[in-house]
Structure 1
Amino acid sequence: MKVLIVENKVELAEIWRRHLAREIEQVDIAASADEAIGRVAATDYAVVVIDLSLAEGDSPISVADYVQYRRPDCRIIYVTDRTFFSDGSIFSITPQLRALVPADSTPEDLAALVEHYGNRS
């Protein structure tokens, strides 16, 4: 299984990558929306984990839209530190979305979600 983490906080992305790499064949990191789109164009990911709080100018939704267009079987997991989408409306915006998890979730919990949804794609 191949997984992409879209996160501009390098330390956090590395923590997630280390936990995922224990069980997953390939885990890549993209620090921006443009980098993520380039990686999705070149690699058939099973799961893309996207931080909804990317740096200003980067749109996590545009990454998800591109994933939907380019890799329709890919699953998306959003990570957020906001309560803006707590009503579940984000699931209607991103059809491939399988989970919306708090940014303070443990890396083990995130890894379990990635493995669960990645094995279903």
Structure 2
Amino acid sequence: MHVLIVQTNPPLAQMWQRHLQRHGHVVDISTDQDGAIDRLSEQNYPIIILDVVLNDGSAIAVADYASYRHPDARVIFVTNTSFFSDGSIFQLCSNACAFVPSATQPDDLAAMVEHYAKVS
């Protein structure tokens, strides 16, 4: 399965990528909104791991574009901040399926990827 990681911290994104690849997934990385939208224009990603706070661009815009371009795509939002800690991300983004800390263990993230891919 194809997975897109949109994360402004390249070492973290690469760690997740390697872990998901070991689970048999094809994983692409983007570090900003423009790159993510380019990827979404070229490839269908059933699961997107998306940092809530992007240095360049808006995570909401990426999720919105994914919803338009790939209506069945699910988004796992990750963050290292308290933004949306009230759960409002689920009201803003209809394709949000999870909201977890950036420090989530790679095994747990891989389990969520596999779970939500089966659900969609």
TM range (shorter): over 0.9
Give unpaired runs (5+ residues) of structure 2.
Answer: none
Residues 1:85 and 2:84 are matched in the alignment: yes
Per the alignment, residue 41 of structure 1 pairs with: 41
Question: In the aligned structure 2, how far is the partner of 1:87 from the partner of 1:39?
Answer: 30
Deviations 1:50-97 (A, max 9, x none): 011211x41111000000000000000000111221211110100010
Per the alignment, residue 21 of structure 2 pairs with: 21
Question: In the aligned structure 2, how far is the partner of 1:24 from the partner of 1:43?
Answer: 17
SS in structure 2 opposite 1:82?
A: coil
Per the alignment, residue 6 of structure 1 pairs with: 6
Following TM superposition, where does structure 1 have runs of at least 4 consecutive aligned residues deviating by more than 4 angstroms? none
SS in structure 1 opposite 2:84?
A: coil
SS in structure 2 opposite 1:21?
A: helix
SS in structure 2 opposite 1:15?
A: helix
Q: TM-score, normalised by structure 1?
A: 0.94
Higher alpha-carbon deviation: 62-71 or 76-85: 76-85
Question: In the aligned structure 2, how far is the partner of 1:38 from the partner of 1:86?
Answer: 29
What residue identity is the alignment partner of 1:93? L
- Percent of aligned pairs sharing the same letter: 47
Q: TM-score, normalised by structure 2?
A: 0.95
Per the alignment, residue 111 of structure 1 pairs with: 110
Per the alignment, residue 60 of structure 1 pairs with: 59
What residue identity is the alignment partner of 2:96? L
CA RMSD of aligned residues (A): 1.0
Higher alpha-carbon deviation: 22-31 or 68-77: 22-31
Contact 1:10–1:31, Cα closer than 8 Å, also in 2: yes
Question: In the aligned structure 1, how far is the partner of 2:30 from the partner of 2:77?
Answer: 14
SS in structure 2 opposite 1:72?
A: coil
Question: In the aligned structure 2, how far is the partner of 1:79 from the partner of 1:13?
Answer: 11
